[in-house]
Amino acid sequence: MTARFLAAAAVFALMNAAAVPAYAQAVPQLPPSAVQTRPQAGVPQQVTLQQALDIAVAKSPVLAAARANQRLTQIPVSLARSALFPNISAAASASHSNNAGRTTNGQTIGGGFTSRGLNADLRQLIYDGGKLIAQLHQARANAVAGTETYDRQLQTLAFNVAQAYYTSLQSKSATQLAAQVVHQNEVQEALVRAQLRAGTASRVDLATAQLPTAQARVALVRAQGQEATALAAFANALGLDADVAVAPANTPAANSTSPLVTVLSYDQAVTRALLLRPDYLAAKNGVMAAQYNVQAQRSGLLPTLTANATYGTNSTTVTGTNFRPGSTIGATLNIPIFDQGITRAQTEQAQAQLDLAQSQLDQ
């Protein structure tokens, strides 16, 4: 008799468990306003990790600013190189002056006077104590440092995108797990209800079974909130608005990466980092640029030699006619004697910048 009763109770419990509604209908959902998203043109709603990186490179304002800064470091190279070439200029002039004339001994003095001319000027720096070359090397080192800094920012962006990508996948899995826990507790609660109807359980047993279900529902709502937050952070890492409908695609084949096959010692890891880390290479070139800046500032105490030449044709009569050609050629040697301490102050400032760059490299 007891065996029949227990069998009937088990069958009744299974029937009640089968009648439990599906997860989509049974578990609580976040308010629509909390998870409302919108599609954006050109952005798929499910993306692989590579697609996410491509979108971030194209959309991220952080990387756009990094590209602009990288371009700014390239321009001074052209400016510094331009000083190596001669400066050539041409000028055409025409003027007319009119003064009140007077007659003396039958000759008219004063009156109108016209002057016309066409001249070309050439200047070439010959020696400046090495300042120009130092400035050119400084600009090149800064350009390399700018490129390395951009590469590091690109790596940082890729890391942030990948971190947000896998965090979003993790939060989604946590939500699914929380939903399964809710479902299991509901099945257990249904079983206790069946036992209560069969007379083999008390209402205390039912209350005890309802408590884990309520706790699981709270955990599910929290997991849903964390998933919504992770999706918003993922969209933000891509350079999109937080409410854009974009989510990582859980496709292991598309997101898989090659496993590490080499175990490095500490010294090997440091050596590799010093060879491959763009931020270290940028700091190293920053020190080099600061050293050239010190050299350029010190050269302000050295003499400079400049060559110049002019050629032109100018009028020689009061009516602006009878043009005669003329030319000059020469050199100018400038020897600084006292510059009010400006060069010394600029050198000290450059040395302080070098010390700062060296400390950043050490860090």
- Three-state SS sequence of 278-330: HHHHHHHHHHHHHHHHHHHHHHHHCCEEEEEEEEEEEECCCECCCEEEEEEEE
Greatest pairwise CA separation for the chain in angstroms: 159
What distance in Å separates the CA atoms of residue 202 and residue 192, rounded to the nearest whole number?
9
Which residues 6+ apart lie within 8 Å of 188 measured at CB? 209, 212, 213
Q: What is the pLDDT of residue 30?
A: 53
Kindly tell me the sign of the dihedral angle through the C-alpha atoms of 66, 71, 75, 78. Answer: positive
Q: What is the pLDDT of residue 105?
A: 64
Strand 323-334 to strand 102-104: parallel, antiparallel, or no bridges (unpaired)? unpaired
What is each CA distance from 314 to 96, 128, 322, 324, in whole angstroms?
Answer: 14, 34, 8, 6
What is each CA distance from 225 to 169, 172, 221, 289, 337, in whole angstroms?
Answer: 14, 10, 6, 50, 73
* Contact by Cβ (8 Å): 140, 292: no
Angle at 238 between CA 234 and CA 240, to 5 degrees: 95
Which residues 6+ apart lie within 8 Å of 25 measured at CB? none
* Selection from 191, 180, 174, 175 nearest residue 26 by Cα: 180
Burial code of 193-227, b = ≥16 C-beta within 10 A, e = fewer? bbbeeeeebeeeeeeebbebbeebbebbbebbebb
Q: What is the pLDDT of residue 203?
A: 87
124: helix, strand or coil: strand
Mind listing the pLDDT tens digit of every residue in the chain (363 residues)?
Answer: 444 444 444 434 444 444 444 443 444 555 554 567 888 888 888 899 999 999 999 998 989 999 999 999 999 999 999 988 999 999 998 888 877 556 566 565 656 778 889 999 999 999 998 999 999 999 999 999 999 999 999 999 999 999 999 999 999 999 999 999 999 999 999 999 998 888 888 888 888 889 999 999 999 999 999 999 999 999 999 999 988 889 998 876 555 555 656 788 999 999 998 999 999 999 999 999 999 999 999 998 899 999 999 999 988 887 778 888 989 999 999 999 998 999 999 999 999 999 999 999 999
Q: What is the pLDDT of residue 252?
A: 66
- Strand ranges in the chain using DSSP code E only, listed in sequence order: 46-47, 87-98, 102-104, 107-109, 112-127, 247-248, 304-315, 323-334
Residue tagged 């020190």 (tokens): 287
